[in-house]
Chains A and B, each alone.
Chain A
């Protein structure tokens, strides 16, 4: 079999002749101009843009197609890497010859996240995706990822619960479940896209945050974004620079954890590198050795809390639409923020002054951004496709004299702009 580009100085084509597809102009994503995409594909494309190279998942509606897309995209990437003249393929660093990007369907959700944690600690950029029932099964391993400081992206395409609930219907009922997903109650990072484009962008950003803070990061989407299609141009979405993990230099003294203050996120020594790596599910010291010393255990916990909570302002992503003189703020997130946008336009058409704040970061709570949005505000309307989960955070933050109203529905249908206006007393 003749493979072009194997000899001489001729330019190496991107694909070999067996792939009857013209070479795309660039190596990374395959996104090209305007497309009609569902959120789940945008998540897979965002992951690829962030150089994800390991995915494990278990089928579940409405998240299954992420597994399919990742399988397609990672295998494409693997095949491309194997082409001659492309040492390391599109990876940032030289990779071993045996390296092949992989997506695997595991035997269950526990194995899915277990595979990902193992792969992440061996240097891969790993992602898994599920829906509410799967998050229940991930729970214990999310705690492991926290205590082991594992960079990992976890997608929850929410559906109506509890339990099996309505598998093909949307909801946003896992908001506080995400915050308190595992024992110990340590802080988590969770981003919530509202559109297909944001599903792409926030998945990419989730990888950055996972590496930057050595932490599991949730992307909280829902059936209403995951399997809804929209016109989108992924190329037109501005992304921050890619964050790769800080790896321990080969010649430096290596400790798996650093509990000092300010809360430093320690460098990682990938398993199979120059250092001996240690990882443990147990309360441990900086060397990842089990400890029973209360002072050290408290240092460990303080570190895990501080590294996320003290970075809350850096992790905060919000969208603002403020109106001068508004006394009402509609505060929303996820798919419901799009109903809120229509409600805001309609209210303003009627001459009612209203401001809007959309949270893309749900955890840690972007408190400073929320408080900054309350200037002159006397009433906050919080529409949610659950029975009032995030409203708890807003009630906690709202100063005396500011009323907080929920617009809550959990019957699998979207909250309409009219429902927001009506319940919020704006109609």
Chain B
């Protein structure tokens, strides 16, 4: 395991027999693929410490340990994901994923996505048309009519064209060959040298199952490519920027503005004597949650602690939107509000989501409601005011600001200035300008 000091060069082989002979059946194409990979590495003379051979499950997955490079042997069909993780973490590594046709089925999405992203790994598929390790079942590449243990009367599925699929997904470099190609090692070296993603689909004989069951030898394997209506050789060679380089360039060019995270220092006083609960209910798109956050930040500017617990359906621009705010001079433990001190309802959807609650409210609670809403009977004090009208004069997006500013004017929990401070501290200037006017408009509604 020891490879300290400078890498010995030139390197005559990247394979070792210290762990025994290759474990493949006599005549199996995996002998050829692994040896071709070794020849390709010898040709490229890469530092074995900077090469990772990533395998997954299946006979070809046994091969990594016969190499003197780094080796990563992972879950069935997922070799591409580990290869991508290694390559994203260390772009200077040469990362080769070696997988079978079975792995291309269970892990097909990773093949599509690495091709699309152009992460600079090399994927070599040892494609022998069936699952050799588990008894010769059919795979996504088993030719039509092919006999396997799970297609005993002939495969009724059409095989996946791995290369065509990868090209359709945007693969930069794609080639197909067979185990009998004289130039297999050279093609493999070309694949390894690609800066972006490269796929090499190598058709092979599984001498335990697929070849004898389907009477396939060298000649028949050559013919099979044509019989499947497919081509051999380099099928795509369209270099484009490798993922990590492009990722880095995009963010360097974009120079993302660092998010401002101003601290909230106490600037105002408050009149909150005990833990106080406020519910604001409206519709998605009415800025309920973001305005509730500003209101809580205003409370913090006024020396209070706050929590905000939201409720909303999985839809985005439709349905109700509800925020529950708690203010306290002390630590807030329980974040739900059993019976709010203040309940603001500004839309029909908000009303539907709080109707039962409004009916149950005690007389210690105040409901602030958009005046057009038809509220249920309640013991709570009810304040109705024209929020929608005021918003129509200001901005439709400012209903929640108007409603809360009016409530603040009515209750004096903390100064309107604190609300204005939160808006101008945390909102972009243009939006803040609109909302500061909305604070004034809201305060005017209930100041009479």
Contacts and interface: CB of A to CB of B under 8 A. Distances in A.
B297 A36 contact: yes
Contacts of B304: 231
Contacts of A122: 85-86, 89-90, 93
B293 A229 contact: yes
Given A98-B91, A229-B296, A414-B335, A289 B307 contact: no
Interface in B35-54: 48-50, 52, 54
A168 B332 CA distance: 23
Contacts of B65: 278, 289-290
B92 A115 contact: no
A375 interface: no
Interface in B263-311: 263-265, 293, 296-297, 300, 304-311
B378 interface: no
A264 interface: no
Interface in B54-82: 54, 57, 62, 65, 68-75, 78, 80-82
A76 B256 contact: yes
A402 interface: no
Interface stretch (B137-145, B154-162, B192-200, B243-251): B243-251
A116 interface: yes
Contacts of B19: 289
B14 to A, nearest CB: 11
Interface string A245-283: 000001101110000000000000001111111111110
A33 B86 contact: no
A341 B332 CA distance: 10
B333 A339 contact: yes
B69 to A, nearest CB: 7
A108 interface: yes
Contact of B72 (A121, A228, A255, A274): A121
A280 B90 contact: no
B83 interface: yes
A274 B4 CA distance: 6
Contacts of B69: 276
A100 B261 contact: no
A254 B2 contact: yes
Contact of B78 (A18, A78, A141, A253): A141
Contact of A110 (B81, B261, B310, B334): B81
B300 A34 contact: yes
Contacts of A297: none
Interface string B204-244: 00000000000000000000000000000000000000001
Contacts of B17: none
Contacts of A287: 1
Given A33-B264, A122-B89, A279-B73, A82 B335 contact: no
A303 B126 CA distance: 35
A35 B219 CA distance: 72
B109 interface: yes
Contacts of B338: 416, 418
Given A168-B313, A227-B310, A229-B307, A281 B252 contact: no
A374 interface: no
B49 A115 contact: no
Contacts of B313: 168
A32 interface: yes
A281 B73 contact: yes
A271 B261 contact: no
B260 interface: yes
A273 B48 CA distance: 10
Contacts, number: 253
Interface string B96-126: 0000000000000110110000000000000
Contact of A168 (B48, B92, B93, B312): B312
A268 B2 CA distance: 14
Given A82-B252, A289-B65, A114 B82 contact: yes
Given A115-B85, A272-B49, A20 B333 contact: no
A328 to B, nearest CB: 18
Nearest to A14: B258
A123 B113 CA distance: 24
B258 to A, nearest CB: 5
Interface string A56-92: 1000010000000000100110110010000000000
A417 interface: yes
A250 B74 contact: no
B336 interface: yes
B400 to A, nearest CB: 16
Given A275-B1, A277-B70, A72 B259 contact: yes
B255 interface: yes
Tell me which of B52, B92, B262, B293 has the highest count of chain A C-beta atoms within 10 A of its own C-beta: B52
B150 to A, nearest CB: 23
A342 B332 CA distance: 9
Contacts of A79: 251-252, 255-256
Given A100-B248, A124-B89, A228 B309 contact: yes
Contacts of B248: 78, 100
A75 B251 contact: yes
B262 to A, nearest CB: 7
Contact of B85 (A118, A255, A288): A118
A241 to B, nearest CB: 25
A322 interface: no
A117 to B, nearest CB: 6
Contacts of B50: 272
Q: Which 10 pairs of residues, A with B, have the shortest CB-CB distance? A: A118-B85, A114-B81, A33-B263, A122-B89, A119-B89, A118-B82, A115-B85, A229-B308, A338-B333, A107-B113
9 contacts: A54-B85, A98-B244, A104-B88, A117-B81, A122-B86, A141-B75, A271-B86, A272-B70, A341-B334
